[in-house]
Copies of this chain bind each other. A is one copy, B any other.
Amino acid sequence: MILAEGKTVDHLIGILTALARRGEGALVSRPTEAQRRAVAETGRDRLPVRELAGGRVLRLEGPLGTRFRPGTAAIVTAGTSDVPLAEEAGAILRTFGIQVVEVHDVGVAGLHRLLRALRRLERAEPEIYLVFAGREGALPTVIAGLVPAPVVGVPTSVGYGRGGRGEAALSAMLQSCAPIAVVNIDAAVPAALFAAHRFVRRGTGSRSSAPPTRSRRRPTRKR
Protein backbone atom coordinates (compact mmCIF):
# COMPACT_ATOMS: atom_id res chain seq x y z
CA MET A 1 0.00 0.00 0.00
CA ILE A 2 1.48 3.33 -0.98
CA LEU A 3 -0.05 6.25 0.88
CA ALA A 4 -0.41 9.02 -1.70
CA GLU A 5 -1.11 11.74 0.84
CA GLY A 6 1.73 14.16 1.48
CA LYS A 7 3.78 13.02 -1.50
CA THR A 8 4.72 15.34 -4.35
CA VAL A 9 3.59 14.27 -7.80
CA ASP A 10 7.19 13.68 -8.89
CA HIS A 11 7.94 11.59 -5.84
CA LEU A 12 4.94 9.33 -6.45
CA ILE A 13 5.67 8.89 -10.14
CA GLY A 14 9.25 8.06 -9.26
CA ILE A 15 8.26 5.33 -6.83
CA LEU A 16 5.74 3.78 -9.24
CA THR A 17 8.07 3.89 -12.20
CA ALA A 18 10.78 2.12 -10.24
CA LEU A 19 8.35 -0.60 -9.17
CA ALA A 20 6.99 -1.00 -12.68
CA ARG A 21 10.49 -1.36 -14.05
CA ARG A 22 11.16 -4.17 -11.55
CA GLY A 23 7.85 -5.80 -12.50
CA GLU A 24 6.30 -5.35 -9.09
CA GLY A 25 2.70 -4.32 -8.49
CA ALA A 26 1.32 -1.88 -5.96
CA LEU A 27 -1.78 -0.21 -4.55
CA VAL A 28 -1.92 3.58 -4.07
CA SER A 29 -4.50 4.91 -1.62
CA ARG A 30 -6.34 8.22 -2.00
CA PRO A 31 -4.32 9.87 -4.77
CA THR A 32 -5.04 13.55 -5.34
CA GLU A 33 -6.52 14.78 -8.56
CA ALA A 34 -3.05 16.04 -9.60
CA GLN A 35 -1.40 12.72 -8.80
CA ARG A 36 -4.00 10.78 -10.78
CA ARG A 37 -3.58 13.05 -13.76
CA ALA A 38 0.20 12.72 -13.65
CA VAL A 39 -0.07 8.94 -13.52
CA ALA A 40 -2.48 8.94 -16.47
CA GLU A 41 -0.24 11.24 -18.49
CA THR A 42 2.77 9.01 -17.93
CA GLY A 43 1.07 6.49 -20.17
CA ARG A 44 -0.06 2.91 -19.61
CA ASP A 45 3.00 1.45 -21.31
CA ARG A 46 5.36 2.91 -18.72
CA LEU A 47 2.89 2.82 -15.81
CA PRO A 48 0.26 0.06 -16.23
CA VAL A 49 -2.15 1.55 -13.68
CA ARG A 50 -5.93 1.09 -13.35
CA GLU A 51 -8.23 3.26 -11.24
CA LEU A 52 -10.36 1.42 -8.68
CA ALA A 53 -13.26 2.64 -6.53
CA GLY A 54 -13.86 5.67 -8.71
CA GLY A 55 -10.21 6.71 -8.54
CA ARG A 56 -9.82 6.50 -4.74
CA VAL A 57 -7.36 3.64 -5.24
CA LEU A 58 -4.77 3.11 -7.99
CA ARG A 59 -3.62 -0.39 -8.97
CA LEU A 60 -0.19 -0.78 -10.50
CA GLU A 61 -0.29 -4.15 -12.22
CA GLY A 62 2.06 -6.86 -11.06
CA PRO A 63 2.45 -9.20 -8.08
CA LEU A 64 1.93 -7.64 -4.60
CA GLY A 65 4.35 -9.72 -2.53
CA THR A 66 1.97 -11.13 0.03
CA ARG A 67 -0.15 -14.14 -0.91
CA PHE A 68 -3.70 -14.65 0.33
CA ARG A 69 -5.81 -17.78 0.53
CA PRO A 70 -9.32 -17.63 -0.96
CA GLY A 71 -12.16 -16.48 1.28
CA THR A 72 -15.08 -14.10 1.62
CA ALA A 73 -15.50 -10.79 3.44
CA ALA A 74 -18.75 -8.88 3.91
CA ILE A 75 -19.15 -5.12 3.60
CA VAL A 76 -22.22 -3.32 4.95
CA THR A 77 -23.09 0.40 5.00
CA ALA A 78 -25.68 2.27 7.04
CA GLY A 79 -26.27 5.11 4.61
CA THR A 80 -25.74 6.45 1.13
CA SER A 81 -22.85 8.66 2.22
CA ASP A 82 -20.86 5.68 3.46
CA VAL A 83 -20.75 3.97 0.07
CA PRO A 84 -17.59 5.59 -1.42
CA LEU A 85 -15.55 4.51 1.62
CA ALA A 86 -16.97 1.02 1.41
CA GLU A 87 -16.03 0.79 -2.25
CA GLU A 88 -12.47 1.78 -1.39
CA ALA A 89 -12.25 -1.12 1.07
CA GLY A 90 -13.92 -3.50 -1.37
CA ALA A 91 -11.52 -2.63 -4.17
CA ILE A 92 -8.52 -3.38 -1.99
CA LEU A 93 -9.88 -6.71 -0.79
CA ARG A 94 -10.77 -7.83 -4.32
CA THR A 95 -7.30 -6.90 -5.53
CA PHE A 96 -5.96 -9.38 -2.96
CA GLY A 97 -8.21 -12.06 -4.46
CA ILE A 98 -10.65 -12.00 -1.56
CA GLN A 99 -14.32 -12.30 -2.51
CA VAL A 100 -16.55 -9.47 -1.27
CA VAL A 101 -20.30 -9.60 -0.66
CA GLU A 102 -21.96 -6.31 0.18
CA VAL A 103 -25.19 -4.57 1.01
CA HIS A 104 -25.79 -0.83 1.31
CA ASP A 105 -27.99 1.70 3.09
CA VAL A 106 -29.40 -0.63 5.74
CA GLY A 107 -29.53 1.67 8.79
CA VAL A 108 -30.89 0.57 12.16
CA ALA A 109 -33.95 2.81 11.81
CA GLY A 110 -35.25 0.32 9.22
CA LEU A 111 -34.69 -3.00 10.94
CA HIS A 112 -36.74 -5.35 8.83
CA ARG A 113 -34.87 -4.40 5.68
CA LEU A 114 -31.58 -4.97 7.52
CA LEU A 115 -32.64 -8.44 8.69
CA ARG A 116 -33.50 -9.51 5.16
CA ALA A 117 -30.18 -8.21 3.84
CA LEU A 118 -28.12 -10.04 6.47
CA ARG A 119 -29.89 -13.28 5.73
CA ARG A 120 -28.75 -12.97 2.13
CA LEU A 121 -25.15 -12.08 3.05
CA GLU A 122 -24.86 -14.96 5.49
CA ARG A 123 -25.39 -17.45 2.67
CA ALA A 124 -21.86 -16.63 1.50
CA GLU A 125 -20.52 -17.43 5.00
CA PRO A 126 -18.21 -14.40 5.20
CA GLU A 127 -15.25 -14.80 7.54
CA ILE A 128 -15.24 -11.15 8.58
CA TYR A 129 -17.61 -8.15 8.39
CA LEU A 130 -16.61 -4.54 7.72
CA VAL A 131 -19.53 -2.34 8.78
CA PHE A 132 -19.55 1.36 7.83
CA ALA A 133 -21.77 3.79 9.77
CA GLY A 134 -21.82 7.48 10.67
CA ARG A 135 -24.28 9.41 12.83
CA GLU A 136 -25.10 7.22 15.89
CA GLY A 137 -22.94 4.33 14.62
CA ALA A 138 -25.23 1.56 15.88
CA LEU A 139 -25.07 -0.75 12.89
CA PRO A 140 -21.94 -2.80 13.79
CA THR A 141 -23.42 -3.56 17.22
CA VAL A 142 -26.71 -4.77 15.79
CA ILE A 143 -24.95 -6.91 13.17
CA ALA A 144 -22.54 -8.42 15.70
CA GLY A 145 -25.59 -9.70 17.56
CA LEU A 146 -26.75 -11.55 14.46
CA VAL A 147 -23.75 -13.13 12.70
CA PRO A 148 -21.10 -15.67 13.81
CA ALA A 149 -18.07 -13.81 12.39
CA PRO A 150 -15.82 -11.03 13.70
CA VAL A 151 -17.23 -7.53 13.04
CA VAL A 152 -15.02 -4.47 12.47
CA GLY A 153 -16.75 -1.11 12.78
CA VAL A 154 -15.68 1.74 10.50
CA PRO A 155 -17.11 5.05 11.73
CA THR A 156 -17.68 7.51 8.91
CA SER A 157 -17.52 11.30 9.05
CA VAL A 158 -21.25 11.70 8.63
CA GLY A 159 -23.29 13.85 10.99
CA TYR A 160 -23.39 17.41 12.29
CA GLY A 161 -23.44 19.30 15.60
CA ARG A 162 -22.31 17.59 18.81
CA GLY A 163 -20.73 14.26 17.98
CA GLY A 164 -20.73 15.04 14.29
CA ARG A 165 -18.13 14.12 11.66
CA GLY A 166 -18.02 10.56 12.98
CA GLU A 167 -17.13 11.39 16.58
CA ALA A 168 -20.35 9.96 18.03
CA ALA A 169 -20.15 6.93 15.77
CA LEU A 170 -16.59 6.17 16.89
CA SER A 171 -17.47 6.57 20.58
CA ALA A 172 -20.57 4.44 20.23
CA MET A 173 -18.60 1.65 18.52
CA LEU A 174 -15.96 1.75 21.28
CA GLN A 175 -18.81 1.45 23.81
CA SER A 176 -20.55 -1.33 21.90
CA CYS A 177 -22.17 -3.99 24.06
CA ALA A 178 -21.17 -6.48 21.37
CA PRO A 179 -17.50 -7.58 20.98
CA ILE A 180 -16.53 -5.55 17.92
CA ALA A 181 -13.20 -3.94 17.04
CA VAL A 182 -12.94 -0.53 15.40
CA VAL A 183 -10.68 1.61 13.26
CA ASN A 184 -10.50 5.40 13.08
CA ILE A 185 -13.07 7.64 11.38
CA ASP A 186 -13.16 7.07 7.58
CA ALA A 187 -10.27 4.58 7.89
CA ALA A 188 -11.46 2.35 5.08
CA VAL A 189 -7.95 1.46 3.94
CA PRO A 190 -6.65 0.27 7.34
CA ALA A 191 -9.90 -1.63 7.83
CA ALA A 192 -9.44 -3.44 4.53
CA LEU A 193 -5.81 -4.27 5.30
CA PHE A 194 -6.71 -5.50 8.79
CA ALA A 195 -9.39 -7.74 7.29
CA ALA A 196 -7.00 -8.97 4.62
CA HIS A 197 -4.56 -10.18 7.29
CA ARG A 198 -7.13 -12.83 8.14
CA PHE A 199 -6.43 -14.36 4.74
CA VAL A 200 -2.62 -14.06 4.65
CA ARG A 201 -0.90 -17.27 3.73
CA ARG A 202 1.81 -17.74 6.33
CA GLY A 203 5.16 -19.06 5.26
CA THR A 204 4.94 -17.40 1.87
CA GLY A 205 7.02 -14.50 3.04
CA SER A 206 7.91 -12.42 6.04
CA ARG A 207 5.75 -9.55 7.24
CA SER A 208 7.74 -7.31 5.01
CA SER A 209 5.86 -8.99 2.18
CA ALA A 210 2.52 -8.68 3.98
CA PRO A 211 0.35 -5.71 3.07
CA PRO A 212 2.52 -2.80 4.24
CA THR A 213 0.68 0.37 5.21
CA ARG A 214 3.23 3.05 4.97
CA SER A 215 4.80 4.79 2.06
CA ARG A 216 7.93 3.72 0.28
CA ARG A 217 10.62 6.01 1.63
CA ARG A 218 12.81 8.38 -0.15
CA PRO A 219 16.44 7.66 0.52
CA THR A 220 17.92 8.99 3.75
CA ARG A 221 19.56 12.32 3.16
CA LYS A 222 22.63 13.61 4.81
CA ARG A 223 24.12 17.03 4.35
The size class of the interface chain A forms with chain B is: 35 or more
Interface pick from A19-27, A41-49, A56-64, A163-171 = A163-171
Please give the distance in Å from A85's CB to the nearest CB on chain B. 12
Contact A79 B214 (CB under 8 A): yes
CB-CB contacts of A199-223 with B at 8 A, as 1s and 0s?
0101001110011111101101111
The one of B103, B163, B218 that contacts A175, using a Cβ cutoff of 8 Å: B163
CB-CB contacts of A170-204 with B at 8 A, as 1s and 0s?
11111111111111111101111110011010100
Say if the beta carbon of A53 comes within 8 Å of chain B.
no
Contacts of A78 in B (CB 8 A): 177
Contact B222 A102 (CB under 8 A): yes
The one of B109, B146, B222 that contacts A213, using a Cβ cutoff of 8 Å: B109
Residues of chain A in range 64-108 having any CB-CB distance to chain B below 8 Å: 66, 78-81, 100-108
Q: List 14 A-B contacts (CB under 8 A).
A: A106-B217, A108-B138, A108-B141, A109-B212, A109-B213, A111-B146, A135-B176, A137-B172, A148-B197, A148-B207, A155-B161, A161-B184, A167-B171, A198-B198
